[in-house]
A and B are shown apart, each in its own frame.
Chain A
Amino acid sequence: MLVLSRKAGEGITLDQDVTIDILSIDGDRVRIGIQAPKDMRIFRKELLEGTIDTNRAAANAPAVSLSEAE
C-alpha cells in the first residue's frame, strides 16, 4: 500500500481524472472532497465490507419454509 502524509488543503490525484482533497481535519475526523468521472461509483468502504458480509451470511441461510413461518 502506498502511504502518503497530507495536510488540510492538500490533495492527491489518481490517474489525473480523480482528485481527492483533504478539506479539513478536526480531531479524528477528516473531511474529504472527491472529484471523479460521473460513471465512477464512490462509496464508503463499509458499504463494500458490509455487502461482502451480508452476501456471505446470506449463503449460509438455513433451509426455510415461509409458508410455515406464520
Chain B
Amino acid sequence: MLIETRFGTSETDKNKIISFKAGLPGFEDLHKFIIIEANNTRPIYWLQSIENKHIALPVIITFAVLSDYNINIRENELEDLKVDSKNDLLILNVVVIPEDMKKMTVNLAAPIVINAKRGIGKQILIDAAELPIRYPIYEAIMESLKKGGEEDAGAVTESR
C-alpha cells in the first residue's frame, strides 16, 4: 500500500503497520505507525504516523547504540502486547533533535516496546533514577556510525 509520509509518498507492506491502542503520550489520537528509514539518518529511524503524514518521531534502536541499556518489561505488559517470544520484541527510544544536532537527546525513561511479529506497540513509562528523559546521545550515535553497519531490529530484554 502507498502511504504519505513526512518524506514523501512511500510504499509499505500492510503487515508492517504497528498499532498503538493508547496512542503515544502527546499523540493520543494517533494509533497506527510504521518504522521507516530516511536517507542519511541511520542509525536514526522514524516512527511515522500513517494517520497524519506530518508526524514522524525520530527513534533509535537503543540497544544498538547504548549496549548497556537495560529495562524491565513486566509480564502483564508482554501479555498486553501479545508477546509469545521475547525475540519478537523491538525496543525504540524517541530522540529529540534540536537545530544544534550535537545537543540531541534520547528519552530513556519511555521506551517504545513493539511486538514486531504482531505489530502491537506501547510506550512504557519507567520511573527510575538511571533512566533520564533527556539523555545526551549525539556522541554515542556518532560512535555507532563510525563502527559502520548497525545491527537491525530484534532486541531482547529481560522481564521480571
Contacts and interface: CB of A to CB of B under 8 A. Distances in A.
Interface of A: 38-39, 41-44, 47-48, 50-59, 61-62, 64-70
A54 B94 contact: yes
Interface of A is mostly: helix
27 contacts: A39-B75, A41-B74, A42-B127, A47-B127, A50-B107, A50-B134, A51-B107, A51-B109, A52-B26, A53-B26, A54-B94, A54-B105, A54-B110, A55-B24, A55-B27, A55-B107, A55-B123, A56-B26, A58-B57, A61-B56, A61-B95, A61-B96, A64-B41, A66-B41, A66-B42, A69-B101, A70-B142
Contacts of A43: 125-127
B127 A51 contact: no
A64 B97 contact: yes
B98 to A, nearest CB: 8
A62 B142 contact: no
B9 interface: no
Contacts of B110: 47, 51, 54-55
Interface residues of B, number: 39
Given A51-B25, A51-B107, A65-B41, 8 more contacts: A43-B125, A43-B126, A51-B123, A55-B57, A57-B96, A62-B97, A66-B43, A68-B40
Contact of A47 (B56, B99, B109, B142): B109
B133 interface: yes
Contacts of A59: 26-27, 54-57
